[in-house]
Amino acid sequence: MVLKHHPDKNKSKKTESQLNAVQECFTCITTAGDILMNKAKRRAYDSIDPTFDNYVPPVNANSKINFYQVFTPVFQSNARWSSRQPVPDLGNEESTFEEVDDFYKFWYDFESWREFSYLDEEEKEKGESREERRWMEKQNRAMRQKRKKEETTRVRTLVDNCYACDPRLKKFRLEEKERKLAEKKAKEDAARLAAEEQEKRRQEAAEAERILRQKEEEEAKEKAQAVKKEKDKLKNALKKEKKSIRNMCKEHNFFSKDENDLVEKMQLMEKLLESLSLDELQIIRQTFAQNDKDTKERVFVDEITKLKEKLALEDEKAVQAAQEKKTPKENGNNNSTSSMWSDDERELLIKAVKVFPAGTSSRWEVIAEYINNHSKGNVVKTAKHVIKKVKELQKFDVTQIENTNKNAFAKFDKTVGSSSPSAQATLSPTKRDKPGEGASTYQPVVPVDKPWISEEQKLLENALRKYPSSTPERWEKIAAEVPGRTKKECMRRYKDLVEMVKAKKSVAAKSSKPS
């Protein structure tokens, strides 16, 4: 067509109008060639087919007679726009569920290659400036998106109408419903059969257990009857043997020579008959039956002698057991308790009772901690051990109390330099401690110095803060701050306070630990 309608081939045409017509025809041919030879332009041209029918069947076209006739050609005509090939067919009444499902999956995910750039109203190449060309491109893009959206909506409406009219879907739903009902019924039947089988097995097991229990009861009953018969048989045999021996002894007047001896031998014979077994009774009876009177008497006397020895031995054991019961069991406990406390620990206990008087918080725990910190023993003392030992000290005689207290405060007397008789402590009763800390106890009272009153205690504490340990001649200055107290008294009071604080802190730390 280009060679045929090229202007150079038509120069023979003389008139200007003829030459213009040839030129216009040639321009159309070259333009068509440019479009058809360019892949993108050809797809844009093919997307606009004026002969294509965009018709979408309505939902009311749903009768079985014309459903396939109406929708099949429509889907076949629209299949030309699909980017994926091949396109599944609508099918017929014999189509399976998988085929129908694949068909609708394909069309609901339909990808169209159709685009509408050929219908652009603005020609970007004709723009006089860059801004104008951009504006034209923007207008064209908006129109393309609008037409693309309308095309997508049209295809989706087509698929929705087809889905709503498809008679196969109703059949598939009915089949699915029947299948589910059948599965449900099968499950119910299986569950019912399993329950019946389980109930049957349970009844069988219960019946077997009942039969076994009944059999065991019968066997036990038979065994008990057999044991009873055996006992009765043994009892009758014993009774017969005893009666026979008793009659034989009675014939010889129980081998007795006077009335007193007769009664004793009768009683011993009855005890002998009760203590012997069946075999022993049979041996004695046979011996009595086969021998003369002298032999019978000798056998009778021997058996009576053995019985007397046996009874005497039993009486001796009973007396010994009674004496053992009367023996006090506390000796071992007292010895074990005394072995826990050495002399040094007893001295520490007496001193601690003085340092921590009644009214001290957790007094017995503090005293026990004090003794554990200052003792070299391996046995750890508790509050119960301390209370028990203090109660034992109440039972000491006066001489032992004085000796213990003297030893406890021997070092203290050397430090103080005092030899006054008031340095000897005595155990005196004190008032009851706080509730729960034990009953009334006795504590060693050591009247070394006059007691510290609260005002003197406050003056001592202020002086300790005022004069730290780095102060020269510290204790002389502290004693000057506390009227009526010497340097040694202040130092002793300070040591007692330090020991008390340490013991309380140790007890508090132990009590705060998680159990």
Dist CA 54 CA 74 (whole Å): 9
Residue 58 in this model has a pLDDT that exceeds 60: yes
Q: Between 423 and 226, whose confidence is greater? A: 226
Q: Between 378 and 49, whose confidence is greater? A: 49
Which letter, b or e, does each residue of 278-314 get, where b requires 16 or more Cβ atoms within 10 Å of its Cβ?
A: eeebbebbebbeeeeeeebeebbeebbeebeeeeeee
Burial of 41 (0-12, 13-18, 19+ CB in 10 A): middle
* pLDDT score at 445: 39
Residue 65 in this model has a pLDDT that exceeds 70: no
Residue 455 in this model has a pLDDT that exceeds 90: no
The average pLDDT across 125-154 equals: 81
- Residue 433: pLDDT band (50, 70, 90) is very low
The average pLDDT across 252-281 equals: 77
Which residues on neighbouring strands pair with residue 426, listed in sequence order? 445
pLDDT in tens, 309-361: 888 888 888 888 877 765 544 444 444 555 678 878 888 888 888 778 776 77
Which letter, b or e, does each residue of 108-133 get, where b requires 16 or more Cβ atoms within 10 Å of its Cβ?
A: eebeeebbbbeebebeeeeeeeeeeb
- Residue among 28, 46, 32, 39 at smallest CA distance from 116: 46
Task: Write the DSSP string, 262-312.
Answer: HHHHHHHHHHHHHHS-HHHHHHHHHHHHHS-HHHHHHHHHHHHHHHHHHHH
* pLDDT score at 360: 76
* pLDDT score at 442: 39
- Residue among 35, 15, 17 at smallest CA distance from 25: 17
Residue 498 in this model has a pLDDT that exceeds 90: no
The average pLDDT across 19-41 equals: 85
Residue type (1 letter), 238 = L
> Of 76-90, 397-411, 463-477, 484-498, which gets the smallest average pLDDT?
397-411
Q: What is the percentage of the chain residues whose pLDDT exceeds 70?
A: 80
pLDDT in tens, 68-87: 888 889 998 888 888 888 98
> Of 277-291, 385-399, 473-487, which gets the smallest average pLDDT?
385-399
Mean predicted lDDT score pLDDT of the chain: 78
In the chain, the domains with their CATH numbers are 38-165 (no CATH), 197-327 (no CATH), 339-447 (no CATH), 449-515 (1.10.10.60)
Q: What is the pTM of this model?
A: 0.37
The average pLDDT across 287-309 equals: 81
* pLDDT score at 422: 38
* pLDDT score at 511: 63
